[in-house]
Amino acid sequence: MAKNNSKTKSNLVFSLVSVLLASQLYAEEALELDDLLVTAGLQPLSVRDVASSITVITREEIEQKQARYLSELLRDVPGFSVSQAGGAGAQTQVRVRGAEANHLLVLIDGIRANDPAANDEFQYQFALTSNIERIEIIRGPQSATWGSDAVAGVINIIRRKDGDGHYLSGNIEAGSFDTVNAGVDGSYAGEVFRIDAGLAYLDTDGINISRSGNEKDGAENTTGNIALEFDAGDAFEFRFSGQVVDANSQYDDIDYFDTGLPIDADRLSKNRHNYLAGQMTFAPTQSAWSGSLSVNRMESDNDNFSDGAWTSATAAETLELRLRGGVLMGPDNNHRLNFALEQEDVDFSQRGEASFYGDPNQDQSYDAYGYALEYVGKPLTGFTWTLSGRYDDYSDFDDAATWQLAASYEFSPSLRLRASAGTGSKTPTFTERYGYYDDLFIGNPDLKPESSQGWEAGIETSWAAHRHQLQLAYFNQDLQDEIDGFVFDPDSFLFTALNKQTDSKRQGVEVIFDTRIGKSLTLGASYTYTDATEQNADGQSVREVRRPRHMASASVNYYFAQDRGNMNLGARYNGSQQDVYFSPLTYTTERVNIDAYTLLDLAASWKLTSALELTGRITNLLDEDYEEVLGFARPGRAVYAGLRGRFDF
């Protein structure tokens, strides 16, 4: 398909930047935006105005649970199913409301963090929680705001930022599997600038992840980040941020000759991820206009080793230019029109040894231009509705148009109804289009993007001065043109990828209950029912793999001894699910069941001084023997203890 000249489009983007910054601005009051969600729209929205299902994980919750990986926190989020192939550092996938693992967009301070070299999935196994201030999660189709990958939702990981403080904090912990975990972060603020930085380190010998043998598969992770902010008067703010992740993970091979299951082997992956961003924000206090211009870059390098020798590598780079702006309208500023212009260049490379079956060495790329409009209106007290539309223009495959319509109405401070409907889009991955694996898979460059249509409706109520809250939501989503990467190609006798002719269907219910008893005791619980089905080769409707129908979680947190002590007990139930087993003896696949499991985690802390506290936690308290991916064992009971503190100056 012929495309417009890229230079012309780039000039258009920068021309609109100039128009935005040179516009004559008039003095108006801004919309009241308390409890802002920066991820829910093209411009930040108040929590009470968002019609999609949301979850916000705060720093306090992270410290209460003493979670070390992002994936540990996501297990408690309604609708989230986590599949980890082993222990710390093992490949981890997250599926939301029955969607695919690459249908969830992950941002790090607004930077697109999904890895094109990893099937467009975010690599959760390398995401530590150190120095995270807040995690915003929006469930449901969000492509009208964020484009590709946001078919089932968006996660935005927001790093710690102390605008006025001068502090240094740190933690150190040791425990089971010869694990050492340590981190330090701090902030310093001057009159017109701020600097925030952090460094985290985790090292573990790990566990034996296969059903047989005794070889342990360990992991090591070093993550560093820094951010600089400058205020340039009332209107402008500049922010520069960066994060580097350097991680090594050991893993096992698959016994392709006998059992078809994991078997002890000396396999190692070395991974390095870089995230860089520069942003200029324009938001005068007495202006109807606001906007931001940002340049974001994500880079990944993934090398694989077998028995100490290098075997293969993949790498990717995403460079994004993003312009967003908005204007308040109407006599009471109850209407807002937002826009976004984006340019994205994506590069992919694969390296390996050529063989009789072909040469895996390749370099691929594509570029995309995104155009979005969003209207947010408050025509009545308590009523907010939004209408969004987006068009993504791709250089190498079919373009995509997405939309969303959402509404929220507060009947009273204790009762809110909300509903939203929209579409999603997911570009074909480089692996699906050009991937190459010895004697196994060849890509299909003629694939078109996946698309989806979905809607949800919810009710939120509270009583006893908002101490008790209940939320109910129903969701329904259909996926069209789903890419099947296990299609037999009779010409090459290998597998390839094709767009399916039939739809995959997902629907379910989420229930969330939160209560506070006094000032010291809080209880949170959730339950999710998910019915995710697809049609098999015989036209029969079957359950999608690694998507349990029933999931539940509960958390009790208690402060005691005048808040010197804290105890957090978490429980998770994961219902039975199915996985696919490939038999190396018959060369056929079959669906097998993975048993349900229940986990208990306990974390406690005690303040030794006002600045220093003792921490301890026990994971998998009941020593449950369970798997989330067929044949890959998860860790048993583990005990950890440590210290953490914060020192203000």
pLDDT digits (tens, 9 = 90+) for 29-49: 333 334 789 999 999 999 999
Give the chain's radius of gyration (CA, Å).
25
- Residue 579 is predicted with a pLDDT of 97
Report whether pLDDT(234) > 60.
yes
Task: State the average pLDDT over residues 199-212.
Answer: 96
Q: Report yes or no on 209 lying in a domain.
A: yes
pLDDT tens for each residue of 477-528: 999 999 998 888 887 778 899 999 999 999 999 999 999 999 999 999 999 9
Helices assigned H by DSSP within 191-293 = none
Full domain range(s) for residue 50: 6-648
User: How far is 65 from 603, CA to CA, in rounded Å?
Assistant: 6
Q: Which of 153-162, 326-335, 560-569 has the highest mean pLDDT?
A: 560-569
Of residues 356 and 547, more confidently modeled: 547
Report whether pLDDT(361) > 80.
yes
Buried b (16+ CB within 10 A) or exposed e, 136-154: bbbbbbbbbbbbbbbbbbb
User: How far is 222 from 128, CA to CA, in rounded Å?
Assistant: 9
- Residue 21 is predicted with a pLDDT of 36
Number of structural domains (the chain) is 1
Q: What is the pTM of this model?
A: 0.93
Q: Report yes or no on 249 lying in a domain.
A: yes
| Cβ atoms within 10 Å of 265's Cβ, excluding its own | 17
| Cβ atoms within 10 Å of 225's Cβ, excluding its own | 23
Buried b (16+ CB within 10 A) or exposed e, 4-41: eeeeebeeebeebbeebbeeebeebeebeeeeebebbb
- Residue 439 is predicted with a pLDDT of 64
Residue recorded with tokens 């001057």: 190
Give, in order, the Cα–Cα distances in Å from 280 to each of 20, 132, 157, 221, 231: 13, 22, 19, 31, 10
Q: Report yes or no on 1 lying in a domain.
A: no
pLDDT tens for each residue of 93-151: 999 999 999 999 999 999 999 999 999 999 999 999 998 999 999 999 999 999 999 99
- Residue 8 is predicted with a pLDDT of 42
For residue 163, name the pLDDT band (cuts at 50, 70, 90).
low
- Residue 492 is predicted with a pLDDT of 75
Report whether pLDDT(26) > 80.
no
* CA torsion angle 311 95 367 157 (round to 10): -100
User: How far is 551 from 359, CA to CA, in rounded Å?
Assistant: 44
- Residue 488 is predicted with a pLDDT of 83
Q: Please name the residues in contact with 104: beta carbons below 8 A apart, sequence gap of 6 or more.
A: 94, 95, 96, 122, 149, 150, 151, 152, 153, 154, 155
User: How far is 587 from 493, CA to CA, in rounded Å?
Assistant: 13
Give, in order, the Cα–Cα distances in Å from 470 to each of 198, 334, 413, 514, 515: 37, 29, 13, 7, 9
Q: Report yes or no on 273 lying in a domain.
A: yes
User: Pick from 158, 146, 172: which is nearest to 320 by CA?
Assistant: 146
Q: What is the CATH number of the domain that holds 581?
A: 2.40.170.20
For residue 437, name the pLDDT band (cuts at 50, 70, 90).
low
Contact call for residues 210 and 263 (beta carbons, < 8 A): yes
Task: State the average pLDDT over residues 57-66.
Answer: 96
How high is the mean pLDDT of the chain? 92
Residue recorded with tokens 């790093």: 159
- Residue 494 is predicted with a pLDDT of 81
Q: Report yes or no on 393 lying in a domain.
A: yes
Q: Looking at 7-21, 279-293, 304-318, 438-452, which range is the least confident one?
A: 7-21
Q: What letter does residue 403 receive in the DSSP assignment?
A: E
Q: Which amino acid is it at 452?
A: S
Helices assigned H by DSSP within 271-425 = none
